[in-house]
Amino acid sequence: MVNQTRLICAASELLDGGKGVRFSVLREDKTLPAFVVRYGGGVHAYLNQCAHISVELDWTEGEFFESSGLYLMCTTHGATYEPDTGFCVSGPCKGRRLMALAVGERDGNVYLTDEEINHG
């Protein structure tokens, strides 16, 4: 498989613990929702699917963090995830993970570095 990169957004659109950017990925002939956020200075991307039941996390478009800005939160189930690992720390899927996507930051932009999903 050829490693491809795809522009997601300008790096300046992502503030630490702030609003995320939604995008989609093609996986096994299916278009799946995904998102990228900034946390701890780095960018982190995941499929936009709760590890408990396959529902999207954000309560309004791009709102993935709970009020403290320390955890990602599923608005349907209240599951909370570490933003840098996707690990569920509380809720019905505790101990499971979000499906991570490979992203990188270069020349002031954030790129999806491969369409393949990384299993954490």
Q: Which helix (H) or strand (E) holds 46?
A: strand 42-47
Question: SS3 breakdown of the chain: % helix, strand, coil, rounded to 5?
Answer: 0, 45, 50
CATH number at residue 73: 2.102.10.10
Q: 49: domain range?
A: 6-118
What pTM was computed for the model? 0.90
Is 60 domain-assigned?
A: yes
Is 1 domain-assigned?
A: no
The tokens for 79 are 């599951």
From 5, 4, 3, 10, select the one nearest 110 (Cα to Cα).
Answer: 10
pLDDT of residue 118: 45
Is 56 domain-assigned?
A: yes
Is 112 domain-assigned?
A: yes
Structural domain count of the chain: 1
pLDDT tens digit at each of 120 positions of the chain: 445 789 999 999 999 999 999 999 988 889 999 999 999 999 999 999 999 988 999 989 999 999 999 999 999 989 999 999 999 999 999 999 999 999 999 999 999 987 654 444
Is 47 domain-assigned?
A: yes
pLDDT of residue 116: 53
Contact 34, 22 (CB under 8 A): yes
